[in-house]
């Protein structure tokens, strides 16, 4: 949850630049393309947070952009579903995996976003605080994303992406700028595409 508007825009453009670099360099490797799109969904949160900061005194617009941030976060795990179709064999294993993913996502959306959810303006004098990101929501979010990575990513990339996901979240809660945990997440999200670029280029090239 970025701590001001200028930093939100800066981190959005940095994350977008490195995402485009990954999409161009690894365009022939579907799994890396999906990984890049997944992390870009974290980068795009900075658009809504920049607008939340800008329109903090306009209740209607602030609530609208807070809701947009929730929807952005809502669709993030769905990106991994694209990997289901990275196969030429639609056999029983495929359908079992697809059913498992469906059950996980159904549980996720029923638990994390109650039907009576009201989107309040996320801006506070101490930083951005989302009403929907409270209590057990972060735990469910982490578990579901890790499960989907484990199920859908190939072994070649699985452990590293899970490590990247968990360590980046942990780092954002350990280091903070301002009052709330996660306040430097915008910088972490912006640099994760660069980390992946270095990893896929020098440490685990897709064609090796």
Strand pairing partners for 123? Answer: 128
Instruction: For residue range 150-176, list pLDDT tens digits in order.
Output: 999 999 999 999 999 999 988 887 876
Report the chain's terminal Cα–Cα distance, integer Å: 37
**Spatial separation of the C-alpha atoms in residues 107 and 84, rounded to whole Å:** 19
Give the pLDDT band (50/70/90) at residue 137.
Answer: confident
What count of other Cβ atoms lies within 10 Å of the Cβ of residue 183?
22
pLDDT attached to residue 110:
81
């Amino acid at each position: 949850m970025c701590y001001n508007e200028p930093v939100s825009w800066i981190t959005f453009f940095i994350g977008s630049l490195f995402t485009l670099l990954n999409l161009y360099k690894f365009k022939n490797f579907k799994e890396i393309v999906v990984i890049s799109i997944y992390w870009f969904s974290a980068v795009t949160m900075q658009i809504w947070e920049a607008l939340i900061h800008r329109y903090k005194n306009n209740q209607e617009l602030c609530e609208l952009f807070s809701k947009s941030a929730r929807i952005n976060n809502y669709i993030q795990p769905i990106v991994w579903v694209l990997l289901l179709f990275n196969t030429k064999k639609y056999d029983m294993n495929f359908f079992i995996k697809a059913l498992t993913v469906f059950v996980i996502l159904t549980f996720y959306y029923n638990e994390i976003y109650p039907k009576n959810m009201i989107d309040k303006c996320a801006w506070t004098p101490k930083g951005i605080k989302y009403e929907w990101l409270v209590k057990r929501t972060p735990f469910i979010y982490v578990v579901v994303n890790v499960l989907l990575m484990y199920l859908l990513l190939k072994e070649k990339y699985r452990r590293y992406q899970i490590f990247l996901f968990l360590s980046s979240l942990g780092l954002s809660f350990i280091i903070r700028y301002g009052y709330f945990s996660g306040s430097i997440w915008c910088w972490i999200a912006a640099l994760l595409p660069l980390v992946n670029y270095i990893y896929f280029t020098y440490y685990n090239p897709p064609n090796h």
